[in-house]
């Protein structure tokens, strides 16, 4: 009896403890949403404290651009006409081409019997002028390389930098190749050489138009280059109309 009395007393004391534990668990489960709401409310109050009023001098306002975005420097956006030195340079570069195109027609004529090939000045001038027109086409296309190396109209950082470099570095290569083909065909196939050069000048004008449309060149660039390319195109067209172009194929150096 003495041994069993404590066990009965402990059994009776465990019943209230179990009931208290059950009631505490139920109360905790019922109060969980309230505790969660109080936590979210406390965090919201903290965020409101951080998002207080900002001083006007520290506030940053983002305005929507009224037109296309350009990265040109201020001087390139304000200038409406090309510099005088650039106009003089363009005229000086076109002068040999125009002179050669006129000289081919002025010196044209059927060679007399017994006249050596060295006396055919028209054919020689035609070949030299086509060589010059080929070099001029490559030089005009390489101007885009210079603008890209100077980073004219290019943002400092952009996700499309690879596209900028690809378009402005790879496009002039096409005009260099067209000029090279014109120079190769200048003596053997002058008519084909003139066609290649005219196609190259048309392509260069299209490239300059796209550069203006994407605002990576000054405002006056396309107007100046359009006149320059048109003058060069007409010069090569005069070369193609020369009667020296009726001779197809390279002439033999040793006559039988």
How much is the pLDDT for 99?
95
pLDDT band at 236 (very low <50, low <70, confident <90, very high): very high
Highest mean pLDDT pick, 22-26, 31-35, 102-106, 234-238: 234-238
Residue 170 belongs to some domain of the structure: yes
Closest alpha carbon to 226 in 212, 236, 241, 237: 212
DSSP letter assigned to residue 217: S
pLDDT tens for 137-167 read: 999 999 999 888 888 877 777 777 787 788 8
Q: What average pLDDT does this structure show over 74-84?
A: 83
Number of domains in the chain: 1
- C-alpha distances out from residue 212 to 160, 176, 216, Å: 18, 21, 6
- Whether pTM > 0.85 for this model: the answer is no
Residue 174 has which token pair? 């096409």
206 in a domain, yes or no? yes
Residues 6+ apart with CB under 8 A from 1: none
Q: Which range of residues forms the domain containing residue 161?
A: 98-108+115-249
Average pLDDT over residues 88-94: 95
**Mean pLDDT value of segment 184-207:** 91
103 within a domain of the structure (yes/no) = yes
Residue 61: band (very low, low, confident or very high) from pLDDT cuts 50, 70, 90 = low
> What is the distance between the alpha carbons of residues 179 and 132, in angstroms, rounded to a whole number?
9
What is the biggest distance separating any 2 CA atoms in the chain, rounded to whole angstroms?
Answer: 155
Which range of 19-28, 100-109, 124-133, 157-166 scores highest in mean pLDDT? It is 124-133
d(CA 55, CA 233): 62
- Considering only CA atoms, which of 195, 211, 206 is closest in space to residue 229? 206
- Residue 3 falls inside a structural domain: no
On whether the CB atoms of residues 189 and 127 are closer than 8 A, the answer is no
Q: Does any domain span residue 214? A: yes
Would you say residue 177 lies in a domain? yes
Asked whether 76 and 218 are in contact (CB, 8 A), the reply is: yes
Between CA 97 and CA 241 the distance in angstroms is: 15
Q: Is residue 18 domain-resident?
A: no
Query: How far apart (Å, rounded) are the C-alpha atoms in residues 123 and 116?
Result: 12
Measure the CA angle with vertex 243, ends 232 and 179; round to 5°. Answer: 35
Q: For residues 232 and 97, is the Cβ–Cβ distance under 8 A? A: yes
d(CA 18, CA 16): 5
Comparing 123-127, 134-138, 154-158, 184-188, the range with the smallest average pLDDT is 154-158
Alpha helices in the chain, H assignment, sequence order? 4-50, 74-78, 84-106, 121-141, 143-149, 161-184, 190-213, 221-240
* Whole-angstrom distance, CA of residue 100 vs CA of residue 139: 18
159 inside domain: yes
Q: CA-CA distance, 190 to 124, in Å (whole number)?
A: 11
């Amino acid at each position: 009896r003495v041994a069993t009395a404590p066990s009965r007393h402990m059994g009776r004391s465990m019943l209230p403890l179990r009931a208290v534990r059950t009631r505490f668990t139920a109360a905790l489960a019922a109060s969980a949403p309230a505790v969660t709401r109080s936590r979210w409310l406390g965090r919201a109050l903290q965020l409101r404290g951080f998002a207080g009023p900002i001083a006007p001098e520290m506030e940053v306002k983002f305005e929507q651009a009224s037109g296309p975005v350009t990265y040109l420097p201020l001087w390139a956006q304000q200038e409406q006409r090309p510099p005088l030195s650039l106009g003089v340079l363009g005229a000086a570069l076109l002068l040999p081409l125009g002179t050669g195109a006129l000289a081919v027609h002025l010196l044209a004529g059927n060679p007399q019997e017994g006249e050596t090939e060295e006396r055919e000045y028209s054919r020689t001038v035609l070949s030299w002028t086509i060589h010059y027109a080929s070099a001029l086409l490559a030089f005009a296309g390489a101007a885009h390389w210079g603008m890209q190396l100077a980073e004219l109209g290019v943002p400092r950082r952009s996700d499309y930098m690879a596209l900028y470099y690809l378009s402005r570095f790879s496009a002039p290569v096409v005009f260099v190749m067209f000029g090279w083909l014109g120079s190769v065909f200048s003596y053997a196939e002058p008519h084909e050489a003139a066609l290649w050069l005219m196609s190259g000048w048309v392509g260069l004008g299209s490239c300059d138009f796209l550069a203006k449309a994407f605002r990576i060149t000054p405002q006056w660039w396309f107007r100046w280059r359009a006149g320059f390319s048109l003058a060069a195109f007409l010069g090569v067209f005069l070369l193609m109309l020369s009667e020296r172009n009726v001779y197809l194929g390279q002439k033999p150096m040793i006559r039988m």
